[in-house]
Each structure stands twice: as structure tokens, then as C-alpha cells.
């Protein structure tokens, strides 16, 4: 099953957004022009209506004029006047309606000329009849009026036809656009659905994969935690239960040494002493192993502590050994530390004990402990968090040192780098140191030179 | 009558026969003229039975192992401290464990002192002699937590 990379997912979403947005813009434009077309259609109808009603109003005026000529009743005159003013209003309206159309304006001018001509003719007839009520209007005059009316009819028809032609054009484009709009709407919908399906598919896939990974990880974590727990309890129980028979051996051996020593042969005395020494050594091993197995980070809180205070406490605990080796312990630099106090005390005790154990008998032992604040980016170690602060604690001595090619091995359980019988350790002390450093999520480095001394450098998150 | 009051009446409850033997021998060496009478039981049930049978007089002190079959040390302390008849008897824990949690628990339960079984016979003798050198008043009061654990090695 191939997976989408985050970059591909981004591209898909950008493309989908672009498609959706452009489809939306298109359909907006479509609907907009549709609205415009229907508005212009409406316009054509209004112009047509206006033209027709102007013509019929002129006919009205004509019949009112005739009514007066026949009856001499002034009611007709009044009606004739109001009809004329109505005609004027309509002419104005028509002018406004056709203001965007040059050829119709031209036609309108012609129409207005004909209307003026017709009205002037009617006014002249009325004037003559008013002056001499008995006057008979000649047939020529009526025919002239008829001719003007027929011109008017023609001009009106011409304008109506032109408007209709325009309307036809507009309707045609409207039909075209109306036909296209559903297509756009449908493609918009289909596009959206496609994008939706694609998104659903890819997100679902990602979710499934991450769920699988997560449950895998959880399972692994669980089994790891279980294994750790088993290992811890195994170490604890085995070392605890080993203590019991060992204590018996030691007690019985010391019981013989205490009360029966004089009854033994000289060689048996030596064997018994060696038995006792071995038992004591085994006891030290088990004790250290037990201490190692008990180191757990989560139980203990990290506290702000003074380094000098901890060193003072250790010095008083190791007073006898320090005095015996004529050793000096000096603390330099920053005194503030963020640590699991009990564990860090153990760590420093082990390092100082280590220095004491491997001191050079030729010179007094000097141990220098220095602490300074450094940035994670300042030291080229395994995997520091670059922008985090670390307390860099160095413990330096002038003891017998060690070959620096063993510098990684010295932190492993039961690993010792000196085979000289004078320097006997359990091989657990430095493993405990390393475990404590790991409990702090820190790093440790060792460096040494045979005959010159050893330096341990610890980085703890500050 | 005089002899009987002067004699130390001591109880030891431990399921480990070797430890019982060593304890008994150490006591024998501390009090070679039988000034101490040792009653040994191998589990909590037997201890309670022995107390039932012999009190009064109450023993001067009970040395008590923790990890035992049937009724363990913690249950014994609880039962003794809750009984009006036995509640004042001093209890000294005599255990292999030096685990702080366990020490704390026995302190809270009301034990008077705590001995982590020593690694050598001379030390065992020294420790028992040290505890038995306390007068009755000191033995029956619970000390501060720092002085609860008796460690003769340091």
C-alpha cells in the first residue's frame, strides 16, 4: 500500500481548493450574466410597450381633436391637453430608456419630429375651428394628417422591430448561457464530490496506518514495560534471595573464626580466611547489584540542590577512606543543580569511591568536581536537545587512570579494566553511575590516561 | 524467686532453623550462666499460641522475623499491639531485608527496634548483646525513626 507524503497531501488540498474556488467564481459569473440578460430582456419589452402606448396616445389625441371639431365641446379640449402632456412624459421616458443605444436615439429623434408635426397639425386645426366654429375642414387637410399618422406608424414599427431584433440577439445569448449554467453547476458539484472522495480516501488511509502504527507501538511498549518489570524483579529477587544463603555462609565461617580458630591447622586457617574473603566479595557484588536493580527514575522527583552540600555529605560518609588516601575534594563553578537528590548522591559517591579506589599510592589524591551550564548545541554528544541547557559536571582525579580505549566498556555491568589484584571493584559502581545519568536523561563520558588520572564528564538537563 | 525475676525471658520467632540456632548460641555466649531463657517459635501462629500459654509473665522482648509461613511478622505486630494483654511487650524485628519501605512499615506498625540480620557471627553477638543491654523502659518505648534500625557495623 503506497502512502501519501505530507507534501503530496498538501498539493492535493491546494489543487482541490483551486478547483473549487475557480468553479465557484465561474458559476458566480454565469449567474451574474444570466441576471443581466434577463434585465436587458425586460428593457426591450418596456421600450416596446412605451412605443406602442405613445402611438395609441397620439391616436387618442387625434380622436379628441375630431370630437371637438364635430361637437365643439370643450371637454374634448381639456382631454386633448392632458393627453399631450402624457405624450411628452412618455417621450422623455423613452429617451431615457434608449440613451445607451445610438441608432434608437436617432430613430427617436425622427419619431419626435413626426409627433411634433402631427401635434402642430392638430393644434392648427383646433385653432381654426375655435376661431370660426362653422368652418368646414377640407379633405386635403384630413389627408395630410392621415399621411403624418401613417409615417408615425411606420417609424414606430421600425423602432419596435429594431428593439425586437436586439431582444432576439439577447435572448439567443441568454439561451446559450442558460444552457451552459447547469453544466457549470454540475461540474462544480462533481468536482466537489471528487475532492471530497479523494480527501476522505487519503485521510482514511493515513488514519488507518497511524492507528496500526499506534497500536503496534502500544503493544511493543507494553511488552517492553513488562519485560523491564520482569527483569527488574528477577534481579531484585535473585539478588535478594542470594543474600540469604550467603549470609549463612558468612555467619558460620565467622563463627568458626571467632571461636574455633586455634583448633585449625595453619593451612585450614588460610582456606577459611579465603572462604570468608570470597563470601564478603560476593556480598558486595550482590549489594551493588541490588542497588542497581532498585534504580528507577519515576519514583523520585527532580529537585534544585546545592552541589557543595552533596559533596560535603559524601565527604563525611567517606571520611575514613579520604583521610587514609590523604585526598582532597574541591568543588568549582556553579553550585546549583537540578537532580534526583538520592540518586545523584549515589552517583557522586560512586565516582569519588572510584577515584579513591584507583588512586596512585605515589601521590596524594586530588579530586576536582566542576559544574557549569552549557547549551545542548555546545557539546558534540550523542543526541542532546540543542536548545536545552545542560549542567556539565566533570569529576577529575590524578589517580592511576585507565586506557581510554576502554572508555565505553567501563560503564557496563561487571566490566573492569584493571586486572591488578590491588584494584578490586565489583564492576557495578560505574554501571550504577550510568543508569543514574540515564534516569536524569543525561549523558556521560569517561576519559583517562594511564598514570595521569581519569575524568568523568556528566551532562544533566538543567 | 530472686533468680526468676533476674532471668531474662526472651522470645524468638523465625522460620529459619539455622538463624534460630545461631541466635541461641550467641545468646548462650552472651549469658553463659543461663541468665536468659529463650523461647523459640517458627511462625506467627505458634508465637501467638506461646504467648497465650505463658503470659503472664510477659517476655522481656520478642525478636520477630518478618517473612514467615502461616502468619507473618506484620500480622504478629498488629495482633500484639491490638491486644490489651500483650500490647506493651517490646518487639525487635530480626529480618534479612534492609529495604526502606519494609523498615518504614514495621515502624508504623509499632515495632520498637529493627535489626537487619548481620553478616558475621561476632556482629550478631554484639547486636543481640546491645539490644539486651537496654533497660526495660528504653526497650518498650519506640525511638525516633533515625534510631529505629540498629546497625552495629558502623
Q: What is the CATH number of the domain that holds B43?
A: 3.40.50.2300
Residues A19, A149, single domain; the answer is yes
pLDDT above 90 covers what percent of chain B? 10
pTM tops 0.80: no
State the best of A242, A243, A254 to mutate against chain B, taking most chain B CBs within 10 Å: A254
Q: Is residue A193 part of a domain?
A: yes
Q: How many domains does chain A have?
A: 2
Mean pLDDT computed over A21-29: 81
Lowest-confidence pick of A217-221, B3-7, B33-37: B3-7
Contact between chains at A247 and B121 (C-beta distance less than 8 A): no
pLDDT mean across residues, chain A: 83
Most confident by average pLDDT, A282-286, A297-301, A417-421, B74-78: B74-78
- Is residue A136 scored above 60 in pLDDT? yes
Domain boundary among A205, A222, A252: A205
Domain span holding position A430? 296-461
Residues A177, A44, single domain; the answer is yes
A250 touches chain B (CB under 8 A): yes
Closest residue on chain B to A241 (Cα): B96
Assign A415 a pLDDT band (cuts: 50, 70, 90).
low
- DSSP alpha helices (H): ranges in chain B? 2-6, 17-30, 44-54, 73-81, 100-109, 121-132, 136-140
Distances (CA, A) of A431 to A350, A383, A438: 10, 20, 10
Contact between chains at B96 and A248 (C-beta distance less than 8 A): no
ipTM, two decimals:
0.78
Evaluate whether A108 touches A159 at the Cβ level (below 8 Å). yes
Assign A418 a pLDDT band (cuts: 50, 70, 90).
low
Domain boundary among A170, A205, A240: A205
More confident residue, A250 or A423: A250
Mean pLDDT computed over A154-163: 89
Residues A58, A198, single domain; the answer is yes
Q: Is residue A99 part of a domain?
A: yes
Most confident by average pLDDT, A149-158, A285-294, A334-343, B31-40: A149-158
Evaluate whether B109 touches B148 at the Cβ level (below 8 Å). no
Residues in B touching A280 (Cβ below 8 Å)? 119
* Closest C-alpha to A231, from A92, A355, A429, A413: A413
Q: Is residue A39 part of a domain?
A: yes
Assign B3 a pLDDT band (cuts: 50, 70, 90).
very low
Pairwise CA distance, residues A77 & A119, whole Å: 13
Mean pLDDT computed over A293-322: 80
Q: Is residue A324 part of a domain?
A: yes
A244 touches chain B (CB under 8 A): yes
Mean pLDDT computed over A421-425: 61
Residues A190, A305, single domain; the answer is no
Contact between chains at A251 and B122 (C-beta distance less than 8 A): no
More confident residue, A51 or A166: A51
From the CA of A238, how many Å to the nearest CA of chain B? 13
- Is residue B4 scored above 50 in pLDDT? no
Distances (CA, A) of A81 to A55, A73, A119, A161, B139: 16, 14, 11, 30, 138
State the best of B21, B121, B152 to mutate against chain A, taking most chain A CBs within 10 Å: B121
CA angle A218, A219, A224 (to 5 degrees): 95
Partner-chain residue, chosen from B25, B97, B122, that has the shortest CB–CB distance to A254: B122
Pairwise CA distance, residues A302 & A250, whole Å: 39
Predicted confidence at residue A213, as pLDDT, reads 92
Q: Is residue A176 part of a domain?
A: yes
Mean pLDDT computed over B18-42: 87
What DSSP state is assigned to residue A261? G
State the best of A247, A259, A291 to mutate against chain B, taking most chain B CBs within 10 Å: A247
State the best of B28, B119, B122 to mutate against chain A, taking most chain A CBs within 10 Å: B119
State the best of A255, A291, A294, A295 to mutate against chain B, taking most chain B CBs within 10 Å: A255
Give burial (CB, 10 Å; 0-12/13-18/19+) of A402: buried
Residues in B touching A240 (Cβ below 8 Å)? 96-97
Closest residue on chain A to B19 (Cα): A248
Predicted confidence at residue A424, as pLDDT, reads 64
Contact between chains at B120 and A244 (C-beta distance less than 8 A): no
Mean pLDDT computed over A117-128: 88
- Is residue A422 scored above 60 in pLDDT? no
Residues in A touching B120 (Cβ below 8 Å)? 250-251, 254
Residues A178, A318, single domain; the answer is no
Contact between chains at A248 and B117 (C-beta distance less than 8 A): no
pLDDT digits (tens, 9 = 90+) for A182-225: 777 788 788 788 878 888 888 888 889 999 999 999 999 999 88
- DSSP alpha helices (H): ranges in A340-455? 341-357, 429-439
Closest residue on chain A to B154 (Cα): A317
- Is residue B2 scored above 70 in pLDDT? no
What DSSP state is assigned to residue A422? T
State the best of B115, B120, B126 to mutate against chain A, taking most chain A CBs within 10 Å: B120
- Is residue B1 scored above 50 in pLDDT? no
- Mutual angle of helices A102-131 and A74-97, in 10-degree steps: 170
Q: Is residue A246 part of a domain?
A: no
Contact between chains at A251 and B25 (C-beta distance less than 8 A): no
Q: Which CATH number belongs to the domain containing residue A371 in this structure?
A: 3.30.565.10
Domain span holding position B6? 2-150
Q: Is residue A187 part of a domain?
A: yes
Residues A29, A157, single domain; the answer is yes
More confident residue, A262 or A171: A262
Predicted confidence at residue A2, as pLDDT, reads 55
Predicted confidence at residue B5, as pLDDT, reads 47
- Is residue B37 scored above 90 in pLDDT? no
Mean pLDDT computed over A144-157: 89
Residues in A touching B25 (Cβ below 8 Å)? 255
Residues in B touching A254 (Cβ below 8 Å)? 119-123
Partner-chain residue, chosen from B25, B117, B121, that has the shortest CB–CB distance to A254: B121
Closest residue on chain B to A279 (Cα): B119
CA angle A458, A459, A461 (to 5 degrees): 145
From the CA of B120, how many Å to the nearest CA of chain A? 4
Pairwise CA distance, residues A277 & A284, whole Å: 11
What DSSP state is assigned to residue A127? H
From the CA of B66, how many Å to the nearest CA of chain A? 14
Cβ under 8 Å to B: A residues 253-282 = 254-255, 257-258, 280
Closest residue on chain B to A246 (Cα): B119
Q: Is residue A1 part of a domain?
A: no
Contact between chains at A251 and B22 (C-beta distance less than 8 A): yes
A252 touches chain B (CB under 8 A): yes
Domain boundary among A141, A174, A205: A205
Contact between chains at A251 and B124 (C-beta distance less than 8 A): yes
Contact between chains at A258 and B122 (C-beta distance less than 8 A): yes
Residues A189, A306, single domain; the answer is no
- Is residue A359 scored above 50 in pLDDT? yes
Contact between chains at B120 and A254 (C-beta distance less than 8 A): yes
- Is residue A414 scored above 70 in pLDDT? no
A248 touches chain B (CB under 8 A): yes
Assign A380 a pLDDT band (cuts: 50, 70, 90).
low
A296 touches chain B (CB under 8 A): no
Q: How many domains does chain B have?
A: 1
pLDDT digits (tens, 9 = 90+) for A6-22: 787 788 778 878 877 88
Evaluate whether A398 touches A408 at the Cβ level (below 8 Å). no
CA angle A345, A351, A354 (to 5 degrees): 135
Amino acid at each position: 500500500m503506497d502512502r501519501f507524503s505530507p507534501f503530496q497531501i498538501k498539493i492535493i488540498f491546494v489543487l482541490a481548493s483551486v478547483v473549487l474556488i475557480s468553479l465557484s467564481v465561474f458559476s458566480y459569473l454565469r449567474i451574474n450574466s444570466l441576471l443581466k440578460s434577463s434585465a436587458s430582456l425586460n428593457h426591450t419589452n418596456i421600450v416596446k410597450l412605451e412605443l406602442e402606448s405613445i402611438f395609441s396616445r397620439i391616436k387618442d389625441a387625434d380622436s379628441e381633436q375630431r370630437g371637438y371639431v364635430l361637437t365643439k365641446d370643450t371637454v374634448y379640449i381639456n382631454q386633448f391637453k392632458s393627453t399631450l402632456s402624457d405624450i411628452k412624459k412618455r417621450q422623455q421616458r423613452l429617451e431615457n430608456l434608449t440613451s445607451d443605444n445610438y441608432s434608437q436615439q436617432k430613430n427617436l429623434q425622427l419619431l419626435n419630429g413626426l409627433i411634433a408635426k402631427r401635434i402642430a397639425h392638430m393644434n392648427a386645426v383646433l385653432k381654426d375651428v375655435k376661431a370660426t366654429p362653422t368652418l368646414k375642414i377640407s379633405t386635403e387637410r384630413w389627408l395630410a394628417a392621415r399621411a403624418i399618422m401613417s409615417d408615425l406608424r411606420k417609424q414606430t414599427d421600425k423602432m419596435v422591430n429594431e428593439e425586437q431584433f436586439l431582444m432576439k440577439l439577447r435572448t439567443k445569448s441568454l439561451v446559450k448561457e442558460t444552457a451552459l449554467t447547469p453544466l457549470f453547476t454540475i461540474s462544480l458539484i462533481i468536482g466537489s464530490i471528487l475532492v471530497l472522495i479523494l480527501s476522505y480516501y487519503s485521510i482514511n488511509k493515513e488514519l488507518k496506518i497511524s492507528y496500526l502504527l499506534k497500536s503496534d507501538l502500544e503493544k511493543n511498549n507494553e511488552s517492553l514495560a513488562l519485560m523491564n518489570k520482569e527483569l527488574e524483579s528477577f534481579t531484585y529477587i535473585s539478588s535478594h534471595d542470594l543474600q540469604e544463603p550467603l549470609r549463612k555462609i558468612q555467619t558460620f565461617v565467622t563463627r568458626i573464626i571467632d571461636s574455633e580458630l586455634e583448633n585449625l591447622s595453619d593451612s585450614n586457617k588460610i582456606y577459611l580466611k579465603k572462604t570468608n574473603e570470597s563470601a564478603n566479595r560476593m556480598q558486595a557484588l550482590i549489594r551493588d547489584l541490588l542497588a542497581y536493580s532498585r534504580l528507577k527514575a519515576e519514583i523520585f522527583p527532580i529537585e534544585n540542590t546545592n552541589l557543595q552540600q552533596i559533596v560535603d555529605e559524601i565527604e563525611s560518609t567517606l571520611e575514613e577512606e579520604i583521610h587514609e588516601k590523604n585526598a582532597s575534594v574541591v568543588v568549582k563553578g556553579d553550585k546549583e543543580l537540578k537532580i534526583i537528590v538520592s540518586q545523584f548522591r549515589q552517583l557522586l559517591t560512586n565516582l569519588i569511591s572510584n577515584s579513591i579506589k584507583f588512586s596512585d599510592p605515589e601521590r596524594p589524591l586530588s579530586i576536582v568536581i566542576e559544574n557549569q551550564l552549557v547549551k545542548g548545541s555546545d557539546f558534540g554528544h550523542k543526541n542532546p536537545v540543542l536548545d536545552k541547557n545542560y549542567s556539565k559536571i566533570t569529576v577529575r582525579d590524578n589517580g592511576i587512570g585507565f586506557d581510554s580505549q576502554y572508555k565505553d566498556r567501563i560503564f557496563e555491568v561487571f566490566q573492569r579494566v584493571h586486572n591488578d589484584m590491588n584494584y578490586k571493584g565489583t564492576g557495578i559502581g560505574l554501571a550504577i553511575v550510568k543508569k543514574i545519568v540515564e534516569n536524569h536523561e543525561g549523558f556521560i563520558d569517561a576519559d583517562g590516561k594511564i598514570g595521569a588520572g581519569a575524568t568523568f564528564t556528566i551532562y544533566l538537563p538543567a | 524467686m530472686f533468680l526468676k525475676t533476674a532471668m531474662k525471658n526472651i522470645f524468638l520467632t523465625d522460620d529459619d532453623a539455622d538463624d534460630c540456632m545461631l541466635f541461641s548460641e550467641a545468646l548462650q555466649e552472651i549469658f553463659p550462666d543461663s541468665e536468659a531463657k529463650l523461647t523459640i517459635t517458627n511462625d506467627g501462629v505458634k508465637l501467638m499460641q506461646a504467648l497465650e500459654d505463658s503470659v503472664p509473665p510477659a517476655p522481656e522482648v520478642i525478636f520477630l522475623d518478618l517473612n514467615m509461613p502461616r502468619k507473618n511478622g506484620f500480622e504478629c505486630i498488629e495482633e500484639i499491639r491490638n491486644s490489651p494483654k500483650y500490647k506493651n511487650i517490646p518487639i525487635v524485628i530480626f529480618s534479612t531485608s534492609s529495604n526502606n519501605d519494609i523498615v518504614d512499615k514495621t515502624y508504623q506498625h509499632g515495632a520498637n527496634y529493627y535489626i537487619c540480620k548481620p553478616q558475621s557471627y561476632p556482629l550478631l553477638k554484639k547486636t543481640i548483646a546491645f539490644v539486651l543491654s537496654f533497660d526495660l523502659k528504653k526497650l518498650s518505648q519506640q525511638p525516633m525513626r533515625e534510631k529505629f534500625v540498629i546497625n552495629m557495623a558502623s
